[in-house]
């Protein structure tokens, strides 16, 4: 598919890109130390940090893959997002101040203080693998959309966008990232509302009939609802979503690092609530767009080119149905969605690299060396992101959202189990945790090998003993294995002295004393 877009639309996108780069140059002059580069000035208002959390969570995966998923099926993948506020509204009040109190920069410093160096290294490596795969996916998706609209090869967009994002993050640090996230977050919301509005009112029967048709076609639905863990069902996504929420808000550096940029604990908690509550409606908005696209193109209102993939339908709609000017605004929102997610990932990966590795192997390094190494790591993470996106382009990736969820399940590596074990058990110890992690790694290897095909054959075929459940359950089981096995194994070893402030019980006790 190739469509020519008007020069006005191209101009709008170019202006938005130059505005983004201008922000990077503006904040570059304020980057004098590693703390400033990674944690900001601690003067950023709570609402801006909250919008930044929201924009980081949304990304181009929401803008493109959610409509594609709803177009192909229904809203079942949204169930994961719906679990986020349910799980976190009761936990943010303790998670946020705990991290602000016990860590300097890296989320995984908490893991070391609770369970030793190995727990920190294991968790940070899992974060790195997860986000490298995610970053490449986001970059590929937005490049694919732009390529579909203009006919310019995907590779050109991958290389161009990665260069812009690397430059912004390299120059501006976390402050530039957060403030650009604010702008890009509002752009993304505006682009989504514009497309949904056009779809609702473009249909001959009006919005009421459009929604009725979407429901009758089972495009606004969360099923199947049967309790099966072997297929992708509502209950699989409920369980998966609960652990996703804990992993994202309790163990993910991109979110935890935002907590550290706030002036006070109260501001940090307010920002977290804003991020949670803003994300769900926007996820739903883009699922709705996918459902409305299905009705629009399957009711005689318009037709699609033969053989078009679900991932290409939304970009095709943008290019053929939106008026001049609106196309540019939506494309600017799409590019903004990618930038707001990827600049955050790159800054956080650099923070992890400096805090968890560089400083450990060079403990006497100066702050200037930390700062310079952080910028080098931004460059490295950007290059790695580009490499993953180019692999997707070479493989002609399809169903990318499903791939992202599966990689999260595999690379999550039981981190939530480690976090819950440390937070809720003062009896759990380092040796017990190591056994739990070992069992988790063996289980993950078995599950992946018995469900992944190379060509027509499974990597390991054990017949009826192959992993029987859906791959999204893999991450859930890995967390539970670490939690249960780690706790039980700890009972066989002598109790270790635990800093009570690292557990929820110590936190609650210290709060009682302050009252």
* Mean predicted confidence (pLDDT) in 101-107: 87
If you average pLDDT over every residue of the chain, what do you get?
85
What confidence score (pLDDT) does residue 307 get? 81
Q: Are 174 and 347 in contact (CB under 8 A)?
A: yes
Average pLDDT, stretch 300-317?
84
How much is the pLDDT for 59?
A: 67
Q: What mean pLDDT is predicted for residues 432-447? A: 91
Instruction: Indicate whether 397 pLDDT > 70.
Output: no
pLDDT in the model for residue 3 = 53
Please state the separation of Cα 149 from the chain's center in Å.
Answer: 25
Average pLDDT estimate for 18-41? 77
Segment 57-71 shows an average pLDDT of 80
Average the pLDDT over 125-136 and give the result: 82
Q: Which of 202-216, 219-233, 391-405, 481-495 has the lowest mean pLDDT?
A: 391-405
Q: Please report the DSSP string for 190-218 in residue order.
A: HHHHHHHHHHHHHSTTHHHHHHHHHHHTT
Phi/psi region, residue 245 (left: phi>0; alpha: psi -120 to 50; beta: rest), is alpha
Q: Tell me the CATH number of domain 7-17+46-412, given options 1.20.1730.10, 3.90.550.10, 1.10.3720.10, 3.30.450.20.
A: 1.20.1730.10
| 159 vs 115: CA distance, rounded Å | 41
Residue 292: what pLDDT?
94
- pLDDT score for 396: 63
Residue 5: per-residue pLDDT = 77
Residues 6+ apart with CB under 8 A from 171: 24, 25, 27, 28, 31
Q: 3-class DSSP state for residue 7?
A: helix
pLDDT of residue 71 exceeding 60, the answer is yes
Residue range(s) occupied by CATH 1.20.1730.10 in the chain: 7-17+46-412
Q: Distance between CA atoms of 254 and 107, rounded to whole angstroms?
A: 9
Is the pLDDT score of 210 beyond 90?
A: no
Q: Which has the minimum average pLDDT: 36-40, 50-54, 92-96, 289-293? A: 36-40
Report the distance separating Cα 261 and Cα 275, nearest Å.
14
Average pLDDT, integer, range 250-254: 87
Tokens of 178: 């957060």
DSSP assignment of 213-276 equals HHHHTT-S-----S--SSS--HHHHHHHHHHHHHHHHHH-HHHHHHHHHSSSHHHHHHHHHHHH
How many residues in total does the chain contain?
A: 515
Positions of E strands within 83-122 = none
Mean pLDDT, range 199-208, rounded to an integer: 82
- The mean pLDDT value for 200-224 works out to 87
User: Taking residues 250-273, what's their average pLDDT?
Assistant: 90
Chain centroid, CA 380 distance in Å: 20
CA atoms within 13 A on the CB side of 456: 0
Identify the DSSP state of 457: E
Q: Answer yes or no: are the C-beta atoms of 145 and 137 closer than 8 Å.
A: no
**Is the pLDDT confidence value at 2 over 60?**
no
> How distant, in Å, are the alpha carbons of 26, 80, 200, 215 from that of 68?
37, 16, 18, 17
Taking CA atoms, 332 is separated from 9, 182, 183, 325, in Å, by 9, 14, 11, 11
User: What is the DSSP-derived secondary structure letter of residue 496?
Assistant: P
User: What is residue 4's predicted lDDT score, i.e. its pLDDT?
Assistant: 65
Handedness of CA 67, 68, 71, 74 (dihedral sign): negative
Q: What is the mean pLDDT of residues 199-218?
A: 86
| DSSP secondary structure string for all residues of 323-367 | PTTHHHHHHHHHHHHHHHHHHHHHHHHHHHIIIIIIHHHSTT--H
Q: Is the pLDDT of residue 399 over 50?
A: no
Per the listing, tokens 């767009």 go with 289
Eight-state DSSP code of residue 497: P
Greater confidence (129 vs 75) lies with: 75
Q: How far is CA 153 from CA 4, 143, 302, 320, 401, in A?
A: 14, 9, 27, 19, 22
Q: What's the rounded mean pLDDT across residues 293-318?
A: 85
Tell me how far apart the alpha carbons of residues 480 and 476 are, in angstroms, rounded to a whole number.
Answer: 6
Longest dimension (CA), the chain: 72
Residue pLDDT, tens place only, 141-150: 788 878 877 7
pLDDT digits (tens, 9 = 90+) for 358-395: 998 898 899 899 989 999 999 999 998 898 888 878 87
Say which residue the tokens 């490298």 belong to: 132
Q: What is the per-residue burial (b if ≥16 Cβ within 10 Å, else e) of 323-336? A: eeebbbbbbbbbbb
Q: Say what the pTM is.
A: 0.84
User: pLDDT class for 84, splitting at 50, 70, 90?
Assistant: confident
For 311-356, the pLDDT digits (tens) are 788 888 888 888 888 888 888 888 887 887 788 888 889 999 999 9
Q: How large a percentage of the chain has pLDDT more than 70?
A: 94
Torsion of CA 307, 80, 248, 185, to 10 degrees: 60
> What are the φ and ψ backbone dihedral angles of 376, each rounded to 5 degrees?
-60, -40
State the average pLDDT over residues 51-61. Answer: 78
């Amino acid at each position: 598919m190739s469509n020519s877009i008007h020069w006005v639309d191209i101009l709008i996108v170019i202006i938005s890109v130059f505005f983004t780069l201008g922000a990077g140059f503006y904040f570059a002059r304020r980057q004098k130390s590693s703390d400033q580069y990674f944690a900001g000035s601690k003067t950023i208002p709570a609402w801006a940090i909250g919008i930044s959390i929201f924009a980081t969570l949304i990304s181009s995966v929401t803008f493109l893959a959610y409509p594609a998923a709803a177009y192909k099926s229904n809203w079942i993948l949204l169930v994961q997002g719906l679990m986020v506020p349910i799980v976190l509204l009761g936990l943010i009040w303790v998670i946020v101040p705990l991290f602000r109190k016990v860590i300097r920069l890296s989320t995984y410093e908490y893991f070391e203080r609770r369970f030793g160096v190995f727990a920190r290294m294991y968790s940070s490596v899992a974060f790195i693998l997860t986000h490298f795969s995610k970053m490449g996916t986001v970059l590929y998706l937005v490049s694919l959309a732009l390529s579909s609209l203009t006919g310019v090869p995907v590779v050109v967009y991958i290389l161009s966008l990665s260069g812009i994002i690397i430059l912004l993050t390299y120059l501006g640090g976390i402050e530039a990232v957060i403030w650009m996230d604010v702008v890009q977050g509002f752009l993304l919301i505006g682009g989504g509302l514009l497309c949904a509005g056009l779809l609702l009112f473009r249909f001959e029967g009006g919005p009421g009939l459009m929604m009725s048709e979407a429901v009758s076609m089972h495009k606004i639905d969360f099923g199947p609802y049967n309790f099966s863990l072997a297929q992708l069902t509502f209950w699989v996504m409920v369980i998966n979503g609960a652990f996703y929420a804990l992993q994202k808000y309790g163990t993910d550096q991109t979110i935890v690092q935002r907590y550290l940029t706030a002036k006070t604990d109260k501001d940090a908690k307010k920002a977290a609530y804003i991020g949670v509550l803003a994300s769900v409606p926007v996820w739903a908005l883009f699922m709705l767009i996918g459902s409305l696209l299905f009705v629009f193109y399957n009711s005689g209102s318009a037709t699609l080119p033969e053989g078009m993939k679900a991932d290409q339908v939304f970009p095709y709609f943008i290019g053929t149905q939106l008026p001049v000017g609106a196309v540019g605004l939506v494309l600017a929102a799409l590019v903004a969605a990618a930038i707001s997610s990827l600049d955050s990932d790159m800054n956080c990966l650099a923070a992890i690299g400096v805090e968890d590795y560089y400083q450990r192997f060079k403990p006497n390094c100066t702050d200037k060396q930390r700062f310079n190494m952080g910028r080098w790591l931004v460059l490295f993470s950007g290059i790695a992101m580009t490499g993953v996106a180019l692999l997707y382009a070479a493989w002609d990736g399809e169903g990318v959202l499903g791939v992202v969820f599966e990689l999260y399940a595999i690379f999550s590596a039981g981190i939530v189990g480690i976090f819950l074990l440390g937070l809720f058990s003062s009896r759990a110890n380092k040796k017990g945790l190591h056994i739990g992690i070992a069992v988790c790694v063996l289980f993950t290897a078995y599950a992946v090998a018995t469900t992944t095909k190379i060509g027509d054959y499974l990597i390991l075929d054990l017949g009826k003993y192959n992993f029987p459940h859906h791959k999204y359950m893999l991450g859930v089981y890995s967390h539970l294995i670490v939690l249960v096995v780690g706790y039980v194994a700890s009972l066989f070893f002598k109790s270790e002295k635990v800093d009570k402030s690292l557990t929820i019980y110590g936190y609650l006790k210290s709060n009682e004393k302050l009252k």
